[in-house]
Amino acid sequence: MSNNIIITGAAQRLGLHCALALQQAGYQVIATWRSEKPGLAQLRDAGVQCIQLDVTDPAQLAGFIAQIKQQHRSLRALIHNASDWKKDAPLNDASTDALAADAAVYDAMQAVHARAPYMLNRAFTPLLQAHDGVSDIIHLTDFVASVGSSKHMAYAASKAALENLTYSFARALAPKVKVNAIAPALLLFNEHDDASYRTAALKKSLLQCEPGAEEMSNTVQYLLNSNYITGKVIALDGGRRLNLP
């Protein structure tokens, strides 16, 4: 039985931890990366197949898809972790340059969070369906997909598009392929986050803790192990949406 799992954007933080955890759990992980990160050495040492890929580049996507189809006859899962985070362009005027800058941010967010998963899901459907047993697609979205963001509207909109794709692909690929999403809020601080930021961020959720990367990998494995969950968005947010004033 094939146990190949693709994880996009797995060279650092949550993606890195998830790739290593799944490799240790007995899967053969294929991790993509856009730029060189220290975590790549960990992945390679663990036996993970690492492939450089900018998911926003259609030519690179085509090459990656061809390589995977040449090397593998089936896939156990496809996990979309590749992400980018850009602030909306400043509100200045309606000049051509200002509109172009605004459009560039929006298009960049859609390209990485919605267009690439859409294209990869469709391209790899035959390999997912060829798996001996139920296979999985997992979209990693964001808490803001359901509540919006005042400073990252384009980012939030692109994650909302990815959540909508979860429902569409779940309907299209059932019963052979389960399709779900995980929508995290705070899981893991960055090293440069100062004490005041950390204190304020922790207060946003009911559980007021930094759960760590294991929370994501545990949820991914929960979905992989389930035989009866599809078309769902799991809110991995410590009860943040219930933490009302």
Q: What is the 3-state secondary structure (H, E, C) of the chain?
A: CCCEEEECCCCCHHHHHHHHHHHHCCCEEEEEECCCCCHHHHHHHCCCEEEECCCCCHHHHHHHHHHHHHHCCCCCEEEECCCCCCCCCCCCCCCHHHHHHHHHHHHHHHHHHHHHHHHHHHHHHHHHHCCCCCEEEEEECCCHHHHCCCCCHHHHHHHHHHHHHHHHHHHHHCCCEEEEEEEECCCCCCCCCCHHHHHHHHCCCCCCCCCCCHHHHHHHHHHHHCCCCCCCEEEECCCHHHCCC
d(C-alpha 234, C-alpha 213), whole Å = 16
Residues in the chain, how many? Answer: 245
From 27, 106, 155, 197, the catalytic residue: 155
**Angle formed by the axes of helices 153-173 and 96-110, to 10°?**
40
Please say if 27 is a catalytic residue.
no
Q: How far is CA 143 from the centre of its chain?
A: 13
Q: Which tokens belong to 161?
A: 């598009």
Catalytic residues: 155
